[in-house]
Amino acid sequence: MMNPDMNILGFLGAAELLILILVPLWIGSLIHCIRNKDLSDTNRIIGTIVIVFLLLLGSLIYLFIPRETDS
């Protein structure tokens, strides 16, 4: 039989690993969106709002959905 304390430690370790991966992804997406000179001002504002309010989902939407450029 497994010790319940080991299960909790395993869960916490997995949670820490996810945080170490997901937080930099979120911050990187936000910085990229704000500094991206190829985006129009409207797209930059919408992208920033989506990333801030939807967190990980917002980062994935920003990274994988094509967007218009300011050309």
Give Cα separations from 15 to 11, 61, 66 (angstroms). 6, 22, 31
Q: Which residues contact 35 (CB under 8 A, 6 or more apart)?
A: none
One-letter amino acid identity for 38? Answer: D
In a domain, 6, yes or no: no
Q: Strand, coil or helix: what is 45?
A: helix
In a domain, 13, yes or no: no
For 8-32, the pLDDT digits (tens) are 777 788 888 888 989 999 999 999 9
In a domain, 49, yes or no: yes
Give Cα separations from 19 to 26, 30, 40 (angstroms). 10, 16, 31
pLDDT at 18: 86
What total number of domains does the chain contain? 1
More confident residue, 33 or 7: 33
pTM, two decimal places: 0.73
Q: Give residue 43's domain range.
A: 23-71
Mean pLDDT score of the chain, rounded to an integer?
Answer: 85
Q: How confident is the model at residue 46 (pLDDT cuts 50, 70, 90)?
A: very high
